[in-house]
Amino acid sequence: MKSSTTFGVKIRELRIRAKLSQRDLAERVAKRLKDRRGFDFTYLSKIENERLEHYPSAPAILALAAELGGDSDELLALASKAPPDVGKMLQESQGARMFFRSAMSSNLSEDEWKRLLEQMKKKKTE
């Protein structure tokens, strides 16, 4: 079943659960980023209210996840971004790209993806 939660809504939920103001969270995230410019409470407000054309960068999303105790993979997925390690593997490995494309073209259900994962885990321990 597909979630109707958006990236912005999820960030707001996590921020409120963490009892942080937008200003406090933005300052914490900015400290984690190499390029601190542009990540302030007004930008965070735009994220939460879905008023951006583009989602934040993967490093910014990872910083948000770290500050909020959120699942980084879930937040990256909600922002339609691949986790950096997955992107790197797909970039470096033709076999990984072929495998993923093949699995995608099979139109697997969520349960089938989970079964495939379990089969891979079982194969790895053999």
- The residue range of the domain holding 107 is 93-125
- Decide if 41 contacts 26 (C-beta within 8 A): yes
Q: Tens digits of per-residue pLDDT, 18-42?
A: 999 999 999 999 999 977 677 899 9
CA 66, chain centre distance (Å) = 11
Provide the pLDDT confidence category of residue 1 given band limits of 50, 70 and 90. very low
Residues 23 and 63 reside in one and the same domain: yes
CA proximity to 58, closest of 23, 91, 87, 36: 87
Residues 78 and 102 reside in one and the same domain: no
Give the whole-angstrom CA distance, residue 34 versus residue 37. Answer: 9
Query: Which pair of tokens denotes residue 74?
Result: 């879930």
Phi then psi for residue 106, to 5 deg, are -80, -5
Q: For residue 32, give the CATH number of its domain.
A: 1.10.260.40
- Please provide the average confidence, as pLDDT, over all residues in the chain: 91
Residues 73 and 13 reside in one and the same domain: yes
